[in-house]
Structures are given as structure tokens and as C-alpha cells.
Amino acid sequence: MSLLELRDVEARYGPVKALQGVSLDVGEKDFVAVLGANGAGKTTTLRAVSGTVRRSGEVRFAGKKVRTPEGAARAGIAHVPEGRGTFAELSVWENLRLGAYTRRANLNEDAARVFGFFPRLQERRDQQAGTLSGGEQQMLALGRALMARPRLLLLDEPSLGLAPLVVKEIFETLVKLNEDEGTAVLVVEQNANIALASASRAYVLEVGRVVVEGASDELRANESVRRSYLGY
């Protein structure tokens, strides 16, 4: 049984049908990427998992149905949404405290771990999140998600708008988390190169449907995937 299972998930925004029957699996300790053109439904897929969009079909996490965003968070899913979802008016430290909202454990221990990954956040501890640079904000979004000690991380385009070096740093952190701590990762990316290099498996979406799925290596060898998403 997979950690996360989506079966024939449909989602709509009013009259717009964004997902038309997506099935997808993320195993325990898996690192999975979702690729696709703009408007393919990548963001909506993540939103369907955390329950931030109206959907039908089945979404199960660790065997249990996921119904609401707060339920998803309490079950161990940390969703870093498109646009990061940090609290611009609150300080870095307050954002991190909110990340640990569902936990009772020692805040400082979790924070020390996050500061280990992103020392920059420690230097900016008392700064308003809205005044951080784009890269720092992405670190904060990720750091906040890590404060929850999630079993599954959902990331929506973590590379968006960031310098290549920062992107590399963030994906290295993700791989490390996945390998050392067994955190499962489901990441949506435009940057297919780095996503396929980090993930073990991937799905390709087109207009709300899965059109290709397989191991990252297979996808990299796939002629049409290469032309559409890898650019060579």
C-alpha cells in the first residue's frame, strides 16, 4: 500500500474542470515529480491532495481518507503551495512556530534542525517574512513545512524565480531529507531537469490527465518528454 494514493480524482473551479481523473501513488520514502505545461493541472493535483480545492474521487493518505486541509496537516502532510503560503506580516520565527502547530514536541529542537538546513533563516529570525528575498522566502516556506516533521512534503514549484545556485541548494536539501530521514516528497516542477535528477519517479500531466508515468530514467529517455520538457 502506498503512503499516498489518488484514484480517479477530479477537481473543478466553478465550471472549469482542472483534473479529469488523475490516479497517482507516492510510496513511503518515495521522491516523486509531477511535470507538465502551464495549466496542465499540477498545482490542482497538489491542492486535491491537501483538500484546498473541491474534488471527487479518492485521496488516501496512510490508508485514511483526507478530507480537509487541516486534516491533511494533522495526518502528516506539509503542503508548500504555489506562492509559498508564508505569513508576510509575521516574523520568520513566528512562521516557523506556525509550522509546528500540530506538534507538541520541543520547538527549539525542530528549529535547530531547520536552521541547520538554512542558516540564513536564523540570521533573519526576527525579520518580517514579507521583507525576505525570494530565495529566503522559499527557504522559509520549506523550513516551515519541515517544522511539522511531515511524512509527506508537497512542493509547488520550489525553483520558481530563484537563482540556479539556490535551486540547487534547495533540491540538495530535499534529497538529503528524503534519503536521511525518509520523508516522502511530491514535487511539482517546471524545471524538469533538476526534478528528474532528484526524483526516482515522475508523472507527466496534460490538460488534467496523466499521460506518462515511470521511473525518472525512463522519462529522460522518452523522446516526447525530452522534447517537451527537457529541451534537448
Partner 1 sequence: MIAAFTWTEFAEQIVSGLADGSVYASLALALVLIYRSTRAINFAQGEMATFSTFIAWSLMNHGFSFWAAFPVVLAISFAGGVLVERVIIRPVEKAPVLTIVIVTLGLALLLNGLMYVIWSGGDRSFNGGFSSRTIKVAGAHISIQYIGIIGVLAALLLVLGLFFRFTKLGLALRASALNPESSRLVGIRVGWMLAFGWGLAAMVGAVGGMMVAPLQFLGPNMMQAILLYAFAAAVLGGLDSPVGAVVGGLLLGLTIDLLGRYVGYIGSTLKLPAALLLILVLLLFRPGGLFGRVAERRV
Q: Does the protein bind Mg ion through residue 43 (CB under 5 A)?
A: yes
Among 4, 5, 44, 135, binds ligand ATP (CB under 6 A): 44
Reference 32, options 222, 208, 215; nearest CA is 215
Strand order in the sheet with 209-215: 77-80, 152-156, 184-188, 31-36, 201-206, 209-215
**57 contacts 46 by C-beta, under 8 angstroms:** no
CA distance between the termini of the chain: 36
Which lies closer to Mg ion via its Cβ, residue 43 or residue 86?
A: 43
Residue 104, C-alpha cell as written in the block: 507538541
- What is the spatial distance between Cα 10 and Cα 2, in angstroms, rounded to a whole number? 20
Which lies closer to Mg ion via its Cβ, residue 78 or residue 92?
A: 78
Q: In angstroms, give the least distance from the CB of 91 to partner 1.
A: 10
Size of the site for ligand ATP (CB under 6 A): 11
Name the binder of 88 from Mg ion, partner 1, ligand ATP, none, CB < 5-8 A by kind: partner 1
Among 38, 63, 89, 126, binds ligand ATP (CB under 6 A): 38
Q: Which listed range, 65-73, 109-117, 182-190, 205-213, lies at the site for partner 1 (CB under 8 A)? A: 65-73
Q: In angstroms, give the least distance from the CB of 146 to partner 1.
A: 12
Reference 74, options 54, 42, 51; nearest CA is 51
Residues of this chain that interact with ligand ATP (CB under 6 A) are: 13, 16, 18, 36, 38-44
